[in-house]
Structure 1
C-alpha cells in the first residue's frame, strides 16, 4: 500500500463532493490507502479503515473490541471543553453495542425473538397503516412543509414507541434529548445532561413495566428476572435511539436523493414493485450511520498494515459501501443495482438487530409517499437543504417540500 498519502489529522466531515457522497478526502484515501493512520484531536495515532474488504474483515474479528472499559477509545468529536481521556470509560449496563462476547451475546440473545423476520412481516400491515395515517395528516397541510417533521420522524417514532411500550406523547422530550446527545460538538455538560435525562426517564419506565408488564418488548424483557433495571434501562436507551434516529434520516435523506434523481423516482411511480430494491440501494448509497469505533486488543494485521495494540480504529461504512472494488460505478444511485453484501447495518456479531424493522418501515414509507404525492418537489434549492454534518447520524435537519394541490 502507498504511504505517500498525507495522514489525516481528524476525520474529514465536510460534504464537499455533494450531499450524498463521502468527503473527497475520504474517497482519495480509500483509493490510495484503505487502512490509513489517523491522528486524533488529542494526539493519539490511530487508524481509519475505508476499504470494503478491510471493513468486513475488521468487523468480523472480535479482537477489534467494541468495549470502552478495557482501554481508551479516543474520540474524533471531542469538544474543546472535553478533558483529554486518560482512563477507560466505565461500561454502561445493558449497552451491548459497547460489549464483546460473551456479555454481548447474553444480552443480544434476549432481543433476537423481538426482531425476527417473521415478527417484522406480521408488523408490516400495521406499519403501512401508520404511514398512510401520517400522510393523511400531511395532505391536510398547506405546502411547503418540512418532510422531516411531518413524516420522516413521526413514522419510525410511532413504530418504535408502540413496539417498546413508550408513550408516544413523550416523544418530544426524548427526541430533543436525543438530538443534544447526537450533536458532535455539543459541550460535554449538555451532552451528559441530555443522556442523564433520557436514562432517568427510561429507568422509571422500565421499573413500571417490571411492576405492571404490558404487551410490548420492554415488558417482555422486564419479565426476565435475569436482567437488572440498569441493564433494562441501557437496552431501552439503545433501542429507542436506534429505532427512530436512523430510519427517520433514511426516509428524509432518501427522499432528497430521489428528488435529485427524478428519472429514477419516475420509475418508482410507474412500478411500485421496484421499491424494495430501491430501499436497498438507498441504504448503500446514503449509509447514514457511517462512523464506528473499535479498539485493537493486540497487534493486528489488516490490509497490509500492522495496527498496534491499544490503537483506536475508526471504521467508515459509507466509504466501504462506495468502494469500486466491490460495487461498479459506486457513486451513482442505481435502483436496479444488485446490492448484496452492503455493510450499512454493519457486519459480524454487531450487525444491526433492527435491520428488518428498518427495511419494513422504509419500504412502507417510500411506497406510500411516492404513491400519495406524485408531484412532490423540493421547496428550496438543493444547495439550501440543511445537512446533518454536525450529527453522529447523517441526514437532513429539514426537508422543505411542496406539491400541487389536488383538484
Structure 2
C-alpha cells in the first residue's frame, strides 16, 4: 500500500503516518491520510526494516483478540463482499472493518457469517428501503455499530435479526461446537416504524446462554421483538442491556415457549408509547432490572401479560399502570426498606427496619396505600403482631377470606375451606396472641 510522504519529507514523519494508518487498519486507532483508501481485501505482507523508510508494508494480522485477518471496506465498497471473503479465510475467524465517518447503503440484507466480526469503526449503515439490516449468524459479532433507518416511516423490517431457522448451526449460544453472538449497536429508527432487534426461534432450536447485546434503540415501532417459536422453542439466559427511547412497544414477546431472561436497561416512553413490556406467550416471561420511566406516558399499560418481573426504583409508579395479569411483580430498594409489588392484587409487601425502634418489620400495604399490616421482629428475638398487623401461613388460597384476627398464623387439618376457615389458628393484635380452635378463642 502506497503511503503519503510527509510535508517535511522526513523519514520519521513518514513512519509516523504509516503507523497511524496501521492503527486504523488493525489496532483500532485513527486513520492517517493516504493517497487512496484501503480496499475490501485483507491487508497482506510483512514488516520490512529496510533503509528505504518511504516503503512500509502492512502486516497480515491485526492483533485483535487473536484474529488474523482484517478486511477493510472502502467508501462505496460492499460490506457483504468483504464478509464473504473474510468467511472463506482462516475458518471465518476474521474482522471486517468500515471506514470512520462513512455511510454504507447495501440495498439488501447483510448476512454476517459465522465467526466473522463486523467492526463499524465510526462508520454507519443506512437502511433506505424496507429490508432487514443485518442477519447475525452463529458466533458472529457486531462492534460499535450505528444503524440509521431512513425510509420516511415506511420501514416494517428489523435492523438486526437472529433467526434459528436460518442460522448455519441452528441453536444460538455457547456449546461445545460454537460460540455466542455479541452485538453492540445504536439503532436510530423512525417513529412507529419497524423493529430494532428481532430474536426469532422459528426453528424451535433455542436462543440461549452466551449471547450478549448492548443496544440503544430510538423511535422504532417495536424496540425489541422476540418470538419463542411455536413448538417448544425458548429464549433463555441471554445477557442484555437495552436503552430504549420512544418506542410504540418496548419489548414484545410472542410464541408458545418461555422467555426466561434477566435483562438490564432503561426505557423512556414518550407520547406515542403504548406498552412497555408485553408477554403474550402465557409462559415464563422476563425479569427487567432497571427503570421504566414516566409510567403515566404509556397510553395503554407499562406491563401486559403474565409472569413479568420488574426490579428497580420506578416499580411503585407502575401501580395502576399494568393490566394486572397473573404474576406481574415488582421490587424496589429504598434505604432500609425492600418493597415488593403484586400488581395482580394491587398489594405492596414490605421488609424494613424501623428507624425508631430498630425492629425488623414484615407486612403488607393495601392498594390504597393507607393501611399497613405487619409483624414486628424485635431485637430480643420476640415476634409480635403490630396493631392491625397480620400474617397467614396456610396451604390454601385465602385471598378472599377475611382473617379471624388482625394477625393470624393458621394451621389446617385439610378440611378447612375459604369460607369455613382453619381448624386451628394463632391470631394476634396489638402485641397479644390468642389461640383459636374452631369457633372458640383462648384465653376466653
Q: TM-score range by the shorter chain?
A: under 0.3
Structure ranking higher in strand proportion: 2
Structure ranking higher on relative contact order (CA contacts 8 Å, 6+ apart): 1
Structure ranking higher in helix proportion: 1
Larger radius of gyration: 2
TM-score where L is the length of structure 1: 0.18
